[in-house]
Amino acid sequence: MKHLLITLALIALGCTTAHADKIKVRLYTNTTINSINISFDLGAYNLYVDDNRLLEDMVGQGRSVIIRPAGNKIHISVNETNYGTFDRLFLQATDTACILCLNPEGAKQRTYEGDLEITPLKSGSLLLLNLVEFETYIAGVVQSEIYGKQTDIFRIQAIISRTWALRNISKHRSDGYNFCDHVHCQAYLNRCIRPDIMLGAIQSSGETLVDSEGNLIETPFHSNSGGQTANSEDVWRTALPYLRSVTDTFSFRMRQSDWTKAIPLNRWLDYFARKHKIDTKNPALRDSLLNFTQDTRKVRLLGIPLTRIRSDFQLKSTFFSVTTDPQNPNNIIIHGHGYGHGVGLSQEGAIRMVGLGISYDSILRHYYTGAILHHDPTANRSYVENYVNQITRIIQEDKNKKTQTHSKQDDWLGRLFRLRDREERQEVYIEEQQDNEKDWQYEW
């Protein structure tokens, strides 16, 4: 059969040609991988080693690739076949609708689209790189970074994640890849498995945030502002015109709106005396430390950056007040608002705004002062609209068939693949007929 080009890079509107190619993302960045078992949820892969020597072709469902470090090389076996040691493994997807299932020893299972490269690290563990289409990566980031149900929530997150990624495309160039999968870059903890998240990401295609000169802006975000966002210079020293403190009542009464933490009084006072040379026996200074309030965001307490205090005491935010504990005079109570650094978009504030019917572009302008939502003029809108219509159709099918049990492979990508294959072959698709796995076990 003719291969389908369900290539998300085609809708990576706003990317240059270079950005439309596959990017490299390091997986399990903060985890030591000593062994991994790779299985296949959808499609087939060619297995290459070293300098692109084909070891096996059409490795797919029912096959299991096991990799372990072996000195400065990696040991590879496929099912019961032991192939020995090599410098590099490369699993190349034979089509766009291919899904890898990664099962590392001592870490959670994940699934990804695209290709996979594995090489040994000097530490004796494994380096895993996902070579993936840019927009597929963005959808995975959105799923990892935000919760919610309304499509515009995911559209907003996709725009700021895309803007950040394009601005920082070479962040890990010296390491041999584009991004890591941790908060140092953006969380990318799985492929996008939810069609509603994919829908929001696709609807945002070609949309980025720029300044008045057309340059991509920095787009930091956090869980909850606590009612007021922070100026960029109050957290990272650099003042940016689009990262201004704004009142954010939309962040009230959400999951991360408020928090408290009890700290022993002696530990609190000793911290300032020992680390910051504050005379805690001075009544005025002592009172400032025990009765600190923030009705609006402040930057320092007795000249000490609140960011430093937050880090040293592992507080959820710098937007907090301090009182003595009326139930226990040996404790102080920190009453805090929000979660995160407070700069840029408050995710829970955006979730509330979407629920109130506020447009996604207005929400972005609220959090990124003066920023401009850029729509790429070269966007193939007809392609995007067709893609959106088909994803919407899949979402509606799920709503109509809540009791239907799908196989593990039967997520939005597998169903879209079947739908387009039927259309390409001009076959009749009976929606009432339940799909089964035999519908899409094609010859690859």
Distance of alpha carbon 443 from alpha carbon 83, whole angstroms:
26
Mean pLDDT of 317-337: 96
444 versus 264: the higher-pLDDT residue is: 264
Distance of alpha carbon 225 from alpha carbon 229, whole angstroms:
5
Distance of alpha carbon 351 from alpha carbon 172, whole angstroms:
31
96 versus 341: the higher-pLDDT residue is: 341
Give the total residue count for the chain. 444
**Total domains, the chain:** 1
The confidence score (pLDDT) of residue 439 equals 37
| Percent of residues, the chain, with pLDDT higher than 70 | 87
The confidence score (pLDDT) of residue 229 equals 98
Q: What is the rounded average pLDDT for all residues in the chain?
A: 88
The confidence score (pLDDT) of residue 426 equals 55
Closest CA to 155 of 206, 197, 216: 197
Q: Highest mean pLDDT: which of 132-136, 318-322, 324-328?
A: 318-322
What is the residue range of 303's domain?
A: 258-337
Tokens of 33: 């991988």
- The least confident of 188-192, 346-350, 435-439 is 435-439
CB 27 within 8 A of CB 110: yes
Output the CA angle 146-151-154, nearest 5 degrees.
30
Assess if residue 385 is contained within a domain. Answer: no
The confidence score (pLDDT) of residue 419 equals 67
Does the structure show a pLDDT above 90 at 390? no
With b meaning 16 or more CB within 10 Å and e meaning fewer, what string describes 85-95? Answer: ebebbbbbbbb
The confidence score (pLDDT) of residue 96 equals 83
| Helical segments of 131-217, H only | 134-145, 151-167, 195-203
| 179-203 pLDDT tens trace | 999 988 999 999 999 999 999 999 9
CB 241 within 8 A of CB 198: no
Assess if residue 247 is contained within a domain. Answer: no
Does the structure show a pLDDT above 60 at 19? no
298 versus 430: the higher-pLDDT residue is: 298
Does the structure show a pLDDT above 50 at 7? no
Assess if residue 271 is contained within a domain. Answer: yes
Assess if residue 47 is contained within a domain. Answer: no
Does the structure show a pLDDT above 80 at 443? no
pLDDT band at residue 322 under the 50/70/90 scheme: very high
Does the structure show a pLDDT above 50 at 38? yes
